[in-house]
Amino acid sequence: MKEMLNEELKEAEEKLPILEEELKILLLPKDKNDDKNVIVEIRAGAGGDEAALFAADLFRMYQDMQKEENGKLKL
């Protein structure tokens, strides 16, 4: 019985930081601009191949974020 309780306590302690972060996000006040659209332009600019790779990574990051949030992405 004591082992079961210790195991449950350990699991609860592991979940605590994740739940704290989720709670902090839920407690943030709603902003009037949260539901508005945004236009983002990503350019490689100066920097050659490295800049192009970074721009591609940045685009993929925003693309993945939109998929997770069930948003729309237009090119």
Amino acid at 63: Q
Q: Does the residue 39 lie in any domain?
A: yes
CB neighbour list of residue 42: distance below 8 Å, 6 or more residues apart? 55, 58, 59, 62
Q: Specify if 74 maps to a domain.
A: no
Q: Kindly state whether residue 75 falls inside one of the protein's structural domains.
A: no
Name the residue range of residue 55's domain: 2-68
The overall pTM is greater than 0.75:
no
pLDDT > 90? residue 2? no
Element (H, E) at 11: helix 2-27
Q: How many domains does the chain have?
A: 1
Predicted local confidence at residue 36, as pLDDT: 85
Condensed to tens digits (0 to 9), the pLDDT of residues 5-62 reads 999 999 999 999 999 999 998 998 888 888 888 888 999 988 899 999 999 999 999 9
* Residue 22 resides in a domain: yes
In a domain, 73, yes or no: no
Q: What is the pLDDT of residue 43?
A: 93
